[in-house]
């Protein structure tokens, strides 16, 4: 236990402010193709939100982002990536839900084996990341309270 | 306990001191990331619950404190990554299967998992603990679910190769984890998928065919479980120390239409229930999907017979996590508490199989140019029946075990008001849920929910939720309410109550105290299951604190469930990751 604590302390002292980048793991797209997460970094800043069909606050957050998206796009260049962590049991429900909630403007990804989720250390959903155009993770938020989507927008704005 | 608190304290202090939104540790060209999740409960004495026999403190043999903790550290440099995870059960939380496993020991327990991985463009190798699945997982799936306390990661090796998206081959082998021990039973498998559409150069849709093989070995299984006569009936034993399973799949997707079909079969006798004969098994699973603009539909049909494949055959292995394949419940997992009071848990474990399906319909009515004003409609129907089977010498006919019809209508009126109305009709056979009974006893429940969110301004919002359940089951009617107040983006507070408002039903059912002399329930419990809680979020830290009464019932996650005995207590949960 002591050794572990020393290790942890060592890690804390070693902190730098430089950003972490997107991991090289594979996910499925809306049309069933497999892509690497690193392909998301195409120069446009993004909000990456991890959600699942049984997570109510996740759906609330994505709906709130969707409601604001046109206003935001007037001010900044950005995209929204909705990553479903539903397993094989509910992935078809997740696909149906993205259409049924009108999330047409989102990039919808499916992380059936939860490789992306594990690599990003997401334990509770919703978990949202703000990522710059080069794939560097700028900010991370877990949980959702109505109105907290504004903070994501401010962080995206700061990147422009 | 002291060491644990000290450790947490140090971690908290160090984390808050850095106060960097995305701090991380650079080592050479790589980066280290750390995640900690801790779930702690103090079980408080509750006279009323004990008096009613709902809470049994004497069952909590590890005392009044439980803590499930997970610390994960990963190092990543380009395509290379390596990581460890330490799970601490200090001791484990009451109601998790781990609690039962831990009873075998007298000390606190920890479990270490680790991996090294190389992920190239078209191939990858991983050595150590492996999380993977073949197809829908019906033949093989290793995964972690902390809500349920499941983790069956395979300690071994995995390699895959992808040839131009046309051919994908994967092989793996290892020893699965069984709660806090590593099973000695090796599991191995291979998976092949062929993309016909890519081979034909057709990129408008997907046509693929796939197949898998999985094997498991348990030393001496045939000697441990021979065919024998028991109370005049023959209980069939295990026919081989090795169980072989194969799966075939076909997928088709074109212009909003999708079809996914899978057939899985177990070629050897396997024993997953002490009372049932060992047997071969099979599953048929068909998923259909269709979407057009803002309408979408998805349907699943599934028939399964004796397909549960345990890591360790029953008697040496117990718990819902003792499995190398994944046959989840596909009924809707509700988010409103009263709709989730008596969830469907499947009948296979008692009757050997089930047949049924579910259908989902979604429609969003909105003007694409006007955001912040829309209707979302969702309807869902699911139904499952048992299969014709034998219970001892008795022939049991197929009968209905579960029906759920539910719908919800969500209306965003304007930027500040949103309402959701929800209704669910649930019908279940109380007998078949507990054991393989020849007579059915159906319960019918109607659940009504109204949920309103009002955004006062950009930062402040209130959410109110009212629920009513009308039922003829043993507990009768319930009402529930929640008030939640949010200060975005950091704080959230809530108060909720679930009240069993109707305790007696025709003198037959009730949640009063059972009197063995009069053979009746006496007195009305009319118990309030209250909760108060708060959560705080700051960058990569999230803390939740709550106190209240918890009803005994099933906690379900991802289509699997575990039984949680009733308790009253304080819960402190936090996660941090960077």
Q: Do the beta carbons of residue B464 and residue B483 sit within 8 Å?
A: yes
Q: In this structure, what are the phi and psi dihedrals at residue A92, rounded to the nearest 5 degrees?
A: -70, -35
Q: Is A3 on the interface with B (CB under 8 A)?
A: no
Question: Cβ contacts of residue B104 below 8 Å, gap of 6+?
Answer: none
Q: Which of A1, A33, A96 sits opposite B362 (nearest CB)?
A: A96
Spatial separation of the C-alpha atoms in residues B146 and B70, rounded to whole Å: 9
Which residues are A40's β-sheet partners?
Answer: none
Cβ neighbours of B136 in A, within 8 Å: 88-89
Interface test with A, best of B76, B334, B362 (most A CBs within 10 A): B362
Question: pLDDT for B171-200, tens place per residue?
Answer: 999 999 998 889 999 999 999 999 999 999
Cβ neighbours of A114 in B, within 8 Å: 131, 143
**Quick one: which of B500, B449, B447, B502 has its CA closest to B469?**
B447
What token pair was written down for B563? 């039984």
Q: Would you call B21 and A25 a contact, using CB atoms and an 8 Å cutoff?
A: no
* Residue B380 pLDDT: 96
* Residue B524 pLDDT: 56
Q: Do the beta carbons of residue B508 and residue B520 sit within 8 Å?
A: no
Q: Quick one: CA dihedral B139, B144, B146, B149, positive or negative?
A: positive
Q: Would you call B296 and A90 a contact, using CB atoms and an 8 Å cutoff?
A: no
Spatial separation of the C-alpha atoms in residues B453 and A113, rounded to whole Å: 34
Under DSSP, the state recorded for B92 is P
Q: Would you call A15 and B74 a contact, using CB atoms and an 8 Å cutoff?
A: no
* Residue B508 pLDDT: 44
Residue of chain A with shortest Cα separation from B557: A54
Question: Tokens 């000697």 map to which residue?
Answer: B223
Q: Please confirm whether the linkage preceding B3 is cis (ω < 30° from 0).
A: no
* Residue B12 pLDDT: 52
Q: What does pLDDT average to in each consecutive run of 10 residues of chain B (578 residues)?
A: 52 46 63 92 90 84 91 91 93 88 73 93 94 93 92 96 93 95 95 94 91 95 87 85 96 90 94 82 95 91 93 80 91 93 87 93 87 90 93 85 96 92 95 79 95 93 96 87 93 94 54 61 72 90 94 85 91 90
Burial class (CB in 10 A: 0-12, 13-18, 19+), A66: buried
**H/E/C letters for each residue in B171-222?**
EEEEEEEECCEECCCCEEEEEEEEEHHHHCCCCCEEEEEEEEEEEEECCCHH
CA distances from B262 to A32, A153, B162, B304, B553 (A): 17, 43, 22, 12, 33
Angle between helices A2-13 and B2-18 (to 10 degrees): 0
Q: Which of A20, A54, A147 sits opposite B24 (nearest CB)?
A: A20
Spatial separation of the C-alpha atoms in residues B227 and B278, rounded to whole Å: 9
pLDDT at position A11 over 50 = no
**Quick one: which of B18, B71, B65, B15 has its CA closest to B44?**
B65
Other beta carbons within 10 angstroms of residue B544's beta carbon come to 18
**Quick one: which of B526, B492, B521 has its CA closest to B509?**
B521
Q: What mean pLDDT do residues A54-60 have?
A: 90
The domains found in chain A, sorted by start residue, are 21-158 (3.40.30.10)
Helix, strand, coil percentages (3-state) for chain A, rounded to 5, are 40, 25, 40
Q: Would you call A16 and B136 a contact, using CB atoms and an 8 Å cutoff?
A: no
Domain ranges of chain B: 329-526
Spatial separation of the C-alpha atoms in residues B81 and B74, rounded to whole Å: 7
Confidence of residue A80 (pLDDT cuts 50, 70, 90): very high
* Residue B301 pLDDT: 96
């Amino acid at each position: 236990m002591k050794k572990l604590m020393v290790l942890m302390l060592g890690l804390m002292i070693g902190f730098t402010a430089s950003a972490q980048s997107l991991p090289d793991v594979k996910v499925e797209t809306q049309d069933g193709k497999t892509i690497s997460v690193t392909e998301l970094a195409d120069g446009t800043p993004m909000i990456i939100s991890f959600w699942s069909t049984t997570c109510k606050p996740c759906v609330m957050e994505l709906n709130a982002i969707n409601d604001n998206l046109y206003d935001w796009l007037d001010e900044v260049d950005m995209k929204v990536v909705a990553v479903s962590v539903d397993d094989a049991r509910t992935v078809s429900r997740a696909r149906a839900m993205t259409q049924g909630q009108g999330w047409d403007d989102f990039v919808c990804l499916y992380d059936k084996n939860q490789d992306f989720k594990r690599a990003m250390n997401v334990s509770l959903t919703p978990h949202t990341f703000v990522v710059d155009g080069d794939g560097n993770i700028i900010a991370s938020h877990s949980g959702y309270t109505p109105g907290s989507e504004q903070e994501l927008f401010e962080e995206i704005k700061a990147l422009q | 306990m002291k060491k644990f608190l000290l450790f947490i304290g140090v971690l908290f202090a160090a984390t808050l001191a850095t106060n960097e939104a995305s701090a991380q540790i650079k080592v050479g060209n790589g980066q280290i990331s750390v995640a900690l999740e801790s779930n702690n409960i103090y079980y408080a004495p509750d006279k009323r619950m004990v008096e009613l026999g709902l809470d049994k403190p004497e069952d909590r043999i590890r005392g009044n404190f439980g803590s499930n903790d997970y610390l994960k550290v990963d190092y990543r440099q380009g395509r290379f990554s390596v990581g460890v995870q330490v799970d601490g059960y200090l001791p484990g939380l009451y109601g998790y299967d781990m609690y039962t496993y831990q009873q075998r020991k007298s000390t606190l327990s920890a479990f270490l998992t680790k991996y090294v991985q190389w992920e190239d463009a078209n191939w990858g190798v991983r050595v150590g603990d492996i999380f993977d699945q073949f197809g829908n997982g019906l033949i093989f799936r290793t995964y972690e679910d902390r809500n349920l306390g499941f983790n069956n990661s395979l300690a071994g090796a995995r390699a895959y190769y992808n040839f131009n998206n046309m051919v994908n081959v994967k092989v793996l082998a290892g020893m699965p984890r069984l709660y806090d021990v590593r099973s000695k039973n090796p599991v191995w498998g291979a998976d092949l998928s062929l993309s016909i559409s890519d081979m034909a150069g057709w990129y408008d849709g997907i046509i693929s065919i796939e197949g898998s093989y999985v094997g498991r070995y348990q030393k001496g299984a045939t000697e441990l479980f021979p065919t024998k006569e028991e109370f005049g009936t023959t209980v069939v034993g295990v026919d081989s120390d090795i169980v072989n399973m194969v799966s075939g799949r076909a997928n088709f997707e074109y212009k909003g239409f999708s079809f996914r079909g899978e057939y899985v079969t177990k070629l050897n006798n396997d024993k997953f229930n002490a009372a049932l004969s060992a047997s071969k098994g099979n599953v048929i699973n068909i998923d259909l999907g269709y979407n057009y603009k803002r309408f979408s539909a998805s349907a699943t049909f599934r028939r399964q017979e004796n397909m549960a494949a345990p890591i360790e055959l029953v008697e040496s292995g117990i718990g819902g996590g003792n499995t190398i394949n994944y046959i989840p419940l596909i009924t809707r997992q509700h988010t409103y508490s009263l709709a989730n009071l008596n969830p469907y848990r499947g009948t296979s474990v008692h009757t050997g199989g089930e047949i049924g399906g579910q259908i989902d319909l979604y429609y969003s009515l909105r003007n694409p140019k006007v955001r912040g004003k829309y209707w979302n409609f969702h309807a869902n129907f699911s139904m499952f029946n048992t299969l014709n089977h034998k219970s001892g010498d008795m022939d049991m006919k197929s009968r209905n075990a579960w029906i759920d019809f539910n719908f919800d209508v969500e209306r965003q009126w304007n930027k500040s008001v949103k309402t959701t109305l929800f209704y669910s009709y649930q019908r279940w056979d109380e007998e078949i849920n507990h054991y393989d009974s020849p007579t059915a006893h159906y319960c019918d429940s109607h659940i009504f929910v109204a949920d309103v969110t009002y955004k006062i301004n950009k930062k402040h919002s209130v959410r109110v939720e009212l629920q009513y359940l009308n039922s003829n089951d043993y507990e009768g009617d319930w009402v529930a309410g929640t008030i939640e107040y949010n200060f975005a983006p950091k704080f959230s507070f809530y108060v909720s109550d679930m009240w069993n408002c109707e305790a007696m039903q025709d003198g037959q059912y009730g949640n009063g105290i059972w009197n063995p002399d009069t053979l009746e329930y006496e007195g009305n419990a009319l118990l309030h299951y209250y909760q108060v809680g708060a959560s705080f979020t700051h960058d990569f830290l999230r803390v939740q604190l709550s106190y209240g009464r918890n009803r005994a019932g099933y906690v379900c996650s991802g289509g699997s469930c575990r039984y949680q005995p009733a308790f009253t207590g304080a819960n402190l949960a936090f996660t941090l990751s960077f």
